[in-house]
Amino acid sequence: TAELTPMTAQLVAAGRGVAALPNWALTEYTEHDLLKTVRLGEKGVWRTLYAAVRVEDEQTPYVQEFLGTARDLCFKTLSGIRAVR
């Protein structure tokens, strides 16, 4: 077992096991053909990620800016993600 995603990916790349990880966490490995990914099930496994903020901070400009930046960067840089409908 390994607690860090990079270590887990390295162990898999070295032929020392398999792992279930989100494909966006493995982009650098798949782009360099270090790992092969396979989908779990016909449609894959999807999860929704949430950001938690205190109610009193929800509308503050810095929290709104952070959430907007995080959302924009995720869709620009992470492969295989989709917006919640």
What is the DSSP secondary-structure string of the chain?
Answer: --SSHHHHHHHHHTTS------GGGGHHHHHTTS-----SSSS-----------GGGTT-HHHHHHHHHHHHHHHHH-TT-----
CA distances from 58 to 19, 69, 75, 84 (A): 36, 15, 22, 20
pLDDT of residue 64: 96
Are residues 1 and 37 both part of a single domain?
A: yes
pLDDT of residue 48: 86
CA distance 82 to 63: 22
Are residues 21 and 59 both part of a single domain?
A: no
Are residues 1 and 34 both part of a single domain?
A: yes
Reported as a pLDDT band with limits 50, 70 and 90, residue 59 is very high
The number of folded domains in the chain is 2
Q: Whole-model pTM above 0.75? A: no
Q: Which domain holds residue 32?
A: 1-45
Are residues 54 and 28 both part of a single domain?
A: no
